[in-house]
Structure 1
Amino acid sequence: MEDRTKNSSPEIKKLGELISDIKIAMLVTVSGGNSLHSAPLVTQEVQPDGSLWFIISRASQKASDIQNENRVNITYSGSGKYVSVTGFAELVDNQPEKVRELWSKAYETWFPQGPNDPNVQLLKVEIEKAEYWEGHSNPVAKILEFVKLTTGSKHVKMGSHGELNLRH
């Protein structure tokens, strides 16, 4: 994933840092009948404005759901970090240069005709807010904090939690 947040606000930089090494995200959409649907996908890019870019299939349930309801949630989990992003999804057409910019050979499994495959669909998510939890990544620190917790120590810090407001 490309992180272009270096010249962004502190909130957007923090989001970029949190998700930069997490390969797979789970996109939650609202399906017909107001039920929730989750599907894995790969974040291709974090823009300086905090928007996220993905490549999906035009024929997917994700695309169909977003046409009817564009509020989405995206969750990330990895390396002791957990991030929940809420925002508004947009299906983006007529940007073949953006498809080529985000394209990787791995997508040919789903899109055999390459970036010009008619089923390729760009998905852009404008982030409203993000919530995150960071734990210790060092296993020894995790064990020490757990021991403190089990022995009744009042000074236990298992990690940090925060919220990022990206749309003011």
Structure 2
Amino acid sequence: MRIKVREMVKDIQVAIMVTTDPEGHLRGRPMRAQKPDEDGKTLWFFTRDDSPKVDEIEGNPSVLLGYADPKSQDFVSISGKARIVRDKNKNKQLWTEDLRTWLPEGPDGDGYALIAVEIAGAEYWDAISSNVTFAFGYAKALATGKPASSGENAKVDF
């Protein structure tokens, strides 16, 4: 099931990262997702070093990541521990040119860091997305008054 989680998130370009601020409030923001690490347990994100989320992670490393691919009806929630990584070589290794939109200095630029999230657990919903299946599920729910079973849901420990 770990492999399924990695496969589901590997092509989703944006994740919502939720951190906890010093007052205990949850804060979520979209983050450009990088490919999962080779170890299969680490997810990477670039950030500006002066971003509030850096202080939030250093104060409380527990994070939640939300991934959604509405087209395929794949949804994944990942909990983990985040850490701030300041490593120019890792920046170069993970750099993709589309990041220049937010980080115009490029992979050698100053003022940004990486966030590494070590996955602790995940939950996924892998729904069947075809129109025929949806229509059948709708008709079945209408006729029986019970929700259709149109996909898979599982919790995964890492």
Confirm or deny that 1:58 pairs with 2:20: no
Task: Work out whether residues 45 and 54 of structure 1, in 8 Å CA contact, stay in contact via their aligned partners in 2.
Answer: no
Confirm or deny that 1:82 pairs with 2:111: no
Q: CA deviation at 1:99?
A: 0.6
Residue 60 and residue 155 in structure 1: after superposition, are their counterparts in 2 closer, same or farther (change >3 A)? closer
Q: In structure 1, what is the Cα distance between the partners aligned to 2:76 and 2:118?
A: 16
Trace 1:2-151 onto structure 2 (pairs within 5 A): 11-47=1-37, 48-78=39-69, 79-93=72-86, 95-151=87-143
Q: In structure 2, what is the Cα distance between the partners aligned to 1:153 and 1:122?
A: 49
Determine what percentage of the aligned residue pairs are the same residue.
Answer: 29
- Equivalent position of 1:5 in the other structure: none
Gaps of 5+ in 1: 1-10
SS of residue paired to 1:32 = coil
Q: In structure 2, what is the Cα distance between the partners aligned to 1:29 and 1:156?
A: 34
Q: In structure 2, what is the Cα distance between the partners aligned to 1:126 and 1:155?
A: 35
2:114 counterpart letter in structure 1: L
Gaps of 5+ in 2: none
Task: Work out whether residues 129 and 164 of structure 1, in 8 Å CA contact, stay in contact via their aligned partners in 2.
Answer: yes
Q: Compute the TM-score of the two structures, normalised by the length of structure 2.
A: 0.91
124-133 or 41-50: bigger deviation: 41-50
Confirm or deny that 1:161 pairs with 2:153: yes
Task: Work out whether residues 82 and 118 of structure 2, in 8 Å CA contact, stay in contact via their aligned partners in 1.
Answer: yes
Aligned-residue Cα RMSD (Å) equals: 1.6
1:158 counterpart letter in structure 2: S
SS of residue paired to 1:39 = strand
SS of residue paired to 1:116 = coil
Q: In structure 1, what is the Cα distance between the partners aligned to 2:29 and 2:102?
A: 15
Residue 92 and residue 145 in structure 1: after superposition, are their counterparts in 2 closer, same or farther (change >3 A)? same
Q: Per-residue displacement from partner, 1:83-142 (whole Å, max 9, x unpaired)?
A: 11000001011x212111111222222222211221221110001000111111212111
Q: How many matched pairs? A: 155
